[in-house]
Amino acid sequence: MSGTSLDGLDIAAVDFAFANNKWSFTIVDATTISYSEEWIEKLKNAHTLPGEKLMELNAEYGRYTGVEINSFIERLSYKPDLIASHGHTVFHQPEKGFTLQIGSGAEIAAITKTTTVADFRTTDIALGGQGAPLVPVGDKLLFPEFKYCLNIGGFANISFDKNGRRLAFDIGPANFALNYFAEIQGFQYDENGELGRKGVINKQLLHKLNNLEYYTREAPKSLGREWMERVFFPAINSFPISVSEKMRTLYEHIAMQIAKATTSQGKLLITGGGALNTFLIERIKHHAVAEIVIPDDTIINYKEALIFAFLGVLRQQNKINCLASVTGASKDSSGGVVFEYLTSF
């Protein structure tokens, strides 16, 4: 799993079991391979590449992923039955009918000598859906005790049951925006929210952000880099105020939008890098009515990798791993391209 925040490549080894009509899991081992500066630049600028170079990067990143998976496998006491790879999102424009996650599944399967599932989003988009979020199936089946499952990564996304249907959507920007303003100040990210804590809220900017058109839309809906560059950053940067003031206002905006999406009492599971941001959690607690639960670090850091592993299992078993109630597609589907590695040839 590689997220928009470019923290690195998350790899998790997971055992799954199905008994008494219920799924369970154990994360056996997990790690994050931090990206080199070279890889950060390649992935950050991938959307600017011409077609031929982008296809070259797709293969190169697949090989890179395969090599890192092999190194990880050497730490394990067994060989995995299956690899599920989300890849790294370069384009996500469901309104135009396409999305692209690079990291060739064929390369991964060839290098690891293991059947690999990749390209999880395109089937849903072909069926008229958003292709995102995909995590809600895992939320529903692996974390049923929580009213809400919130992941705070590059974007904050949430899933929950309503009237017997699973709903989910991207709430709004999170680390994608926070990292942008941290980098302006010379930091890769805002550790514990200390940079944001120093600023003051600009009420006019907060009002403008909270009233962006995206927040008025009904789910299903999702966000990508394109919306950030076209709408969100121009809205913030139209205010001639300090970076510190922008960042503090951004924190309040994120917390308020999360609270707006969690209006009922019940347990709210928070995972992703944002769960480690002390100041952000403080602001969410200030605004939200739900009972906030911060799990152990393994779940915080690797829940998305865990769930994409699960989506790969469901795909291999030809079971539904993408819900139309979440994405707006014409039907549920079992998404993902299977690159079978056959040892008999």
Domain boundaries, the chain: 8-131+302-339, 136-298
| Nearest in space to 5 (alpha carbons), one of 308, 301, 322, 321 | 301
- What is the rounded CA–CA span in Å between residue 345 and residue 191? 51
- Per residue in 267-296, pLDDT (tens digit) is 999 999 899 999 999 999 999 999 999 999
Residue 104 CA to residue 106 CA, distance in Å, equals 5
CB 259 within 8 A of CB 268: no
pLDDT in tens, 17-62: 999 999 999 999 999 999 999 999 999 999 999 999 999 999 999 9
- According to DSSP, residue 331 is labeled S
Asked if domains 8-131+302-339 and 136-298 share a fold, the reply is yes
Judged by phi (left if over 0) then psi (alpha if -120 to 50, else beta), residue 312 lies in: alpha
Q: d(Cα 178, Cα 272) in Å, to the nearest integer? A: 14
Q: 246 and 126 in contact (C-beta within 8 Å)?
A: no
In whole angstroms, give the CA distance from residue 166 to residue 138: 11
Class of CATH domain 8-131+302-339: alpha beta
Express the helix, strand and coil content of the chain in percent, nearest 5 each: 45, 20, 30
Q: Which fold has domain 136-298?
A: Nucleotidyltransferase; domain 5 (3.30.420)
**Average pLDDT value for residue range 323-335:** 96
Per-residue pLDDT tens digits for 17-26: 999 999 999 9
Beta bridge partners of 27: 14
Instruction: Report the number of secondary-structure helices (H) and strands (E) in the chain.
Output: 14, 12
For residue 114, CA distances in Å to 57, 80, 196, 283 come to 22, 8, 44, 44
* Complete DSSP assignment for 95-133: GGTEEEEES-HHHHHHHHTS-EEE--SHHHHHTTS----
In this prediction, residues 114-121 reach a mean pLDDT of: 98
The verdict on whether omega for the bond into residue 220 sits within 30 degrees of 0, i.e. cis, is: yes
129: pLDDT strictly greater than 80:
yes
Asked if residue 344 has pLDDT above 80, the reply is no
Beta bridge partners of 339: 116
Helix, strand or coil, per DSSP, at residue 332: coil
Q: Determine how many CB atoms are found less than 10 A away from the CB of residue 51.
A: 7
pLDDT at 220: 83
Of 42, 313, 8, the C-alpha closest to 188 is 8
Strand pairing partners for 118? 337
Q: How confident is the model at residue 345 (pLDDT cuts 50, 70, 90)?
A: low
